[in-house]
Chain A
Amino acid sequence: MSIKHEQSIENNDDIIIIKDLNKWYGDFHVLKDINLRVKKGERIVICGPSGSGKSTITRCINRLEEFQRGSLTVNGVEMIEDVKNIEAIRREVGMVFQHFNLFPHLTILENLTLGPIWVQKKPKKEAEAIAMKYLERVKIPDQAQKFPGQLSGGQQQRVAIARSLCMNPEIMLFDEPTSALDPEMIKEVLDVMVELADEGMTMLCVTHEMGFAKKVADRVIFMDAGEIVEQNTPEEIFNNPQTDRLQLFLSQILDH
């Protein structure tokens, strides 16, 4: 691990601080002694084989998954077993899912205004203005009155990103955002994500899009069997893997 990273441990202003985090599903130890610090504005890509715990660690950050040992602090708020506390953290963290998870019974506009109206208690007019602003940013303002079922996968995922952004989050989590998309639609979603990264959003992204990682990531984390095996800049990770496990992984995904 680089010296640069050692220094950041001293810095308590980090937006995400994960210490000795352990998680079990029953007897199965899915996350083992995870230590991770994320600086404000940092873009992190997490990769690894399936079952390595990369999604699980992401989902721990907004408490979609609970953990049994260790501590997790998001934007200065420590995650404890308390509904108010969890909801406070969730308001800081936006999440984009593999299967979009838009609300099928609501129009695109209603999907976007739901959070601002009910969680942030904004007036409907203001929420709609915010929603339209973000729909324009993801380049589909003309779809506002449609239902999610009428949109293509790529459009749905862009709506999902806009839905998270409407809550004005400090951190965006992406859990394999392009894995369920047709090849022709991956680019339109990645473009939106690159734009977001350029604006300085703190991002944690589980993905296998290595081109995306090379382009925007400050740090790539490689996980296997519930632990962080290697983390480094994308150049180091791709050109100079330190472990045979990462070397094997890279050869598997880059060979075709």
Chain B
Amino acid sequence: MSATKLVHGYEVVIGFETHAQLSTQSKIFSRASTAFGAEPNTQACAVDLALPGTLPVMNKGAVERAIELGLALGSHIAERSVFARKNYFYPDLPKGYQISQFEIPVVQGGAVSFFLGDEKKTVRLVRAHLEEDAGKSLHEDFIGQSGIDLNRAGTPLLEIVTEPDMRSSEEAVAYAKELHKIVTWIGICDGNMQEGSFRCDANVSVRKPGAPLGTRREIKNLNSFKFMQQAIDYEVRWQIEQIEDGHAIQQATVLFNPDTGETRAMRTKEDAADYRYFPDPDLPPLVISREWVERVRSEMAELPRVMAERFVTQYGLPEYDATTLTQSKAMAAYFEGTAKVCGQAKLASNWIMGELSRRMNADDMDFAQAQQRIGALELAALIMRINDNTINNNSAKAVFDALWNESRVAVGDNLHDVTQAASVIDSIIEAKGLKQMNDTGALEAIIDEVLAANPKNVEEFKAGNTKALNGLVGPIMKASKGKANPAQVNALLLKKLG
């Protein structure tokens, strides 16, 4: 571990609480739909509204997703966990209590590892527990009143809690991105931050190095990575200023205002401190058998970090490449699709992390869209053509360019095999006349002309100035319209001047 970077001599300490909405069809304790964006209260059934006489019945799908997260993060899956009632009054909380887990959560321990630049970081988890989401209060267009929509009430959540292991806003954002990647990768959460499917609360405090932990303030509902960084940076500056001005930090819950870029303390609920947790008598203990855990494990997709390790061993990629290529399932699949076919893993990695990613960012595209421009098979064929000296790198970029920009029947994913892809590539090479010139005779003719036209360079070279050679190679490549094979040009030149 490198020394943690300080801000004005203060160490920043950050812990995260993330609420991930689980991708179940129905709610955690009722059979109402969890679909987003329905008409107000049309997806709030009797149970969700806490109508008298209603009772909760647990959704197996939510438990399964909790197990998957635990397995993905190397956590302990509790064989017996308990649902408890968290009692407080709020209009968006229909029962006047939230069913959550308190003393015994379902997922215990575990860790999230990721790269910050090229430095490997690991953030330890305290726990992840199952609970129900609340409804929404709408403040617009009701004079002096709020409208309550309980469609979201009862949506299953996993609250994922870390140790205060992060030491900078960059590290915090990198953690959040990695966690986001994992939950979407294993498919337990759609990760849609605009719709609130993945909500982060950051506990931020500062201290002089070596000093005990400072008082923390909790920034609620950070719903974009951009705001996350801004909010934490502002909060850190604010806390340091307070301390420097001799004010003690008061524990508080704050909201980030994207418009002002500032955080502001929320109106505190007087009794927020006393939730009167107790085991929910409507719900016996949740028991998860080892068999069930193993069944889920056997059915789970390969995890990003496992896949990255495999890329290193199977394809001999550097760890950095392997980690970058496993940012998303789509990217990893694209890489394997290319590497397997062309047999040039490192070249494939370079093209995907380089040219392809650049184009995708420029045109703001995801892999599904990119596939329509250049399929993995086409990229593989292109790489093969570089490899067999049909074209050189510059020409390859030109071919890539053509594939990317020229409107044509989308071939990307309806190509069946590499031969088909190769013919697409070859036809472009043909049409643009990019084929590398490997005919020695023609090349020698060009070289002779250039030598004759540049006696000065020839003199200097013979006088021992090897640099003078470049003055000759340039014109030769130019005369060959970039199609000459640079290696071949060098060899022939030396022979003639030798």
On whether the two chains bind one another, the answer is: no
